[in-house]
Amino acid sequence: MKKKMLMGLGLLSLLVLGACGQGEADEKSEVKKIGILQTVEHGSFDESREGFIQGLAENGYTEGENLEIEYQNAQSNQGNLQSMSEKLVSDQPDLLLGIGTPAGQGLATATQDIPTLVTAVTDLKTAKLVKSYDKPGTNISGTTNLSPIKKQIDLLLSVVPDAKKIGLLYNSGEVNSQVQIDVATEYLKELGIETTIKTASNTNDVQQATESVANDADGIYIPTDSTFASAAAVVGEVVKEKKIPLVAGSVDQVKEGGLVTLGVDYVSLGYQTGEMAAKILDGEANPEDMPVESAKDLAFYVNKDMAAALGIDPESIKEPK
């Protein structure tokens, strides 16, 4: 009798465990909805989105199977950012993703309830997306793309060691760009190097601003700025004609129109964000308590075609320590 009772208990345990396992399977097979808002179309943001989707897939959420994604691209238009944010929120997704600071701010304005992540945002606190990096305290968390700005400046100065003046270009309307320019300006001041600064509020102003700085500087630095990244090829033509070295904040910008950078690997950054998203979808975390993450991987890249156009040996450019 005792033996039969034990066998019965064993069978019951197996049934319970089986039911639990089935419950977990059912939960993972439930289709989740994600809304993605991207500030503008350019390489770094596209790579962030690609990495985000990869990160989700590696953690059990595959588009077309148990994941539905609605993607919107505002193309840097403020009106689009607002209307697209409202549209994504109205669809009541399980999670939202903002790629770039303006996209993150648009989603933050549209909802304070739906779990939201951002990526490719330089300073989430200055952008008023979180209260602190360790404990966001809002419905938003994510990954910052803050570049190693001082190392990037050092890289530029290694190419133009006798530089007396460095040009800085950015869109002053982008919070993330202003943060980076402030760091760069202060660091160059510490080094005793003069700066000349020009801004562009849209891509139509980029060429004129670049030409102005190129005529008045020994080298140019551009942070991870959406406006200048979107017009990187235009910038590249100017610096090539003026034969002036340019270091930009991201690899993508340098590929299209710069000389060299030590920048964020945006596929990897997006992947990190995808891992965070999977934890939220699994119910293991919520943005309010989820620390903001910094980029784990940096990429050193030299544009050999630009180096040749400037008469610089690409092998002479070394990654800063």
**In a shared domain, residues 160 and 208:** yes
**Ranges 15-29, 76-90, 275-289: which has the least confidence:** 15-29
pLDDT per residue as tens digits for the range 257-272: 999 999 988 999 999 9
Reference 178, options 118, 128, 223; nearest CA is: 223
Answer yes or no: is 243 within a domain. Answer: yes
Same domain, 218 and 305: yes
Residue 91 dihedral angles phi and psi, to the nearest 5°: -80, 0
Q: What CA–CA distance (Å, rounded) separates 117 from 115?
A: 7
| Spatial separation of the C-alpha atoms in residues 89 and 106, rounded to whole Å | 11
Residues 49 and 117 in one domain: yes
CB 136 within 8 A of CB 130: yes
* Predicted pLDDT of residue 5: 37
In a domain, 24, yes or no: no
Domain that holds residue 220: 149-263+300-316
Distances (CA, A) of 261 to 10, 45, 81, 126, 318: 62, 17, 30, 25, 10
Query: Do 228 and 100 lie in a common domain?
Result: no
| Structure confidence at residue 241 (pLDDT) | 96
Confirm whether 41 is domain-assigned. Answer: yes
Q: Report the range of poorest mean pLDDT among 15-19, 126-130, 203-207, 301-305.
A: 15-19
Instruction: Tell me the mean pLDDT in the region 62-72.
Output: 97
Contact 70, 34 (CB under 8 A): yes
Q: How many CB atoms lie within 10 A of CB 237?
A: 12
Which residue type is seen at 53? I
Q: Is the pLDDT of residue 308 over 60?
A: yes
164 and 234 in a common domain:
yes
Question: What are the two backbone dihedrals, phi and then psi, of residue 306, each rounded to the nearest 5 degrees?
Answer: -65, -40
Neighbours of 253 (CB within 10 A): 31
321 contacts: CB under 8 Å, gap ≥ 6? none
Count of CB atoms within 10 A of residue 17's CB? 10
User: Is 35 within a domain?
Assistant: yes
> Is residue 233, in this structure, part of any structural domain at all?
yes
Is the same domain home to 174 and 312? yes
CATH code: domain of residue 60: 3.40.50.2300
Q: For residues 204 and 311, state if they share a domain.
A: yes
Note the pLDDT tens digit of each residue in 165-217.
Answer: 999 999 998 888 999 999 999 999 999 999 999 999 999 999 999 999 999 99
Same domain assignment for residues 189 and 311: yes
For residues 153 and 243, state if they share a domain.
yes
CB 140 within 8 A of CB 124: yes
User: With contact defined as beta carbons under 8 Å apart, do 228 and 170 qualify?
Assistant: yes
**Pair 154, 252 in one domain:** yes
> What is the C-alpha separation between 33 and 182, in angstroms, rounded?
38
| pLDDT value at 13 more than 80 | no
Residue 42 confidence (pLDDT): 83
d(CA 46, CA 8): 57
- In a domain, residue 16? The reply is no
Based on the fold, state whether residues 40 and 188 are members of the same structural domain.
no
pLDDT band at 132 (very low <50, low <70, confident <90, very high): very high
**In a domain? residue 7:** no
CB 53 within 8 Å of CB 276? no
Question: How many domains does the structure of the chain reveal?
Answer: 2
Q: Is the pLDDT of residue 25 over 70?
A: no
Are 307 and 163 members of one domain? yes
307: in domain: yes
Residues 118, 23: Cα–Cα separation, whole Å: 31
Buried b or exposed e, range 59-92, using 16+ CB within 10 angstroms? bebeeeebbebeebbbebeeebbeebbeebbeee
Buried b (16+ CB within 10 A) or exposed e, 133-149: eeebebbbbbbbbbbbb
pLDDT at 264: 87
Instruction: Give the tokens for residue 157.
Output: 């100065």
